[in-house]
Amino acid sequence: MPLDHQRIKNWKFEDIRHPYGQKDVILYALGIGLGQDPTDPLQLQYVYEDGLRVFPSMAAVMGYPGFWMKDPRTGVTWTQVVHGEQRMFFHAPFPTHGEVIGRSRITHVIDKGADKGALVVTERKIHDAATEALLATVQQVTFCRADGGFGKSDPGLEPLPKVPATEPDLRCALPTLPQAALLYRLNGDDNPLHADPAVAAKAGFPRPILHGLCTYGVVTRAIVRTLCEGQGDRLSHLHGRFSAPVFPGETLQVEMWKSSPETAQFQARVLERNIIVLSNGIAGIRS
């Protein structure tokens, strides 16, 4: 059934106040696999209170408004919704504890056609509650597979570029933990698809799959490790398109092409199955 363009475009979000502490910061970092080598100082800075720093992709779980498309008033066929792209801009480092405010709005509702579905872009700006400083901007592109054909459409976002056809300049392979999804869900996404084998089987998977944003976090780790010398504050933005699910315990290889000292393109593949799981990636690096 087609969406009501105006209803979705004008959807009202309440501000989300999100208090957090050092344990939350460490739990997020552990969930994306930081600390696998507990003697590595570049990992330890994200999982140990002494000198603790917030890993930048934690913005993905800060001030999140929840699965609002499940509200029947949206008219969205929520069972047919998939996460299409994640685009994130990192404006300033997060304090290691405090409170942030997430302010969300719909910026684009794009009709791809009656048989092709629709894209909805939700933008979330995350501010420090104490200072109002803008810390991060998150753009989530949601593919509503059963809801196209409503006619009125916003222009699309600027497309993410395909990676070059040449061999990558750099590669970084990181294993995911077998229990990664069980850890990551403690950040707030408790969808049983990521924990319950019976639910995963009903969805057509042989076992629970990893959260897409956990995959995104592991990929961010590889970019920070390889291009930012382990310093997350040097990452200015990171965008990518989800193309296939990952199973906990699989190895992600991130393949990178340096476009300039400040920009790199990338994709991520699961080595065990040799499939691309995150494509059309682009990252910005601060000097």
| Contact present, 246 and 276 (Cβ < 8 Å) | no
User: Please, is 188 exposed, middle or buried when counting C-beta atoms within 10 Å of its C-beta (0-12, 13-18, 19+)?
Assistant: middle
- CA 124 from chain center: how many Å? 12
Q: Contacts by 149-153 with C-beta closer than 8 Å and gap 24+?
A: 149/2, 149/111, 149/113, 149/114, 149/115, 150/2, 150/3, 150/4, 150/5, 150/111, 150/118, 151/2, 151/5, 151/111, 152/5, 152/6, 152/111, 153/5, 153/109, 153/110, 153/111
* CA-to-CA dists, residue 173 to 235, 256, 261, 270, angstroms: 19, 11, 22, 9
Strand partners of residue 108? 121
Residues assigned a catalytic role: 189, 194
Token pair for residue 54? 């917030």
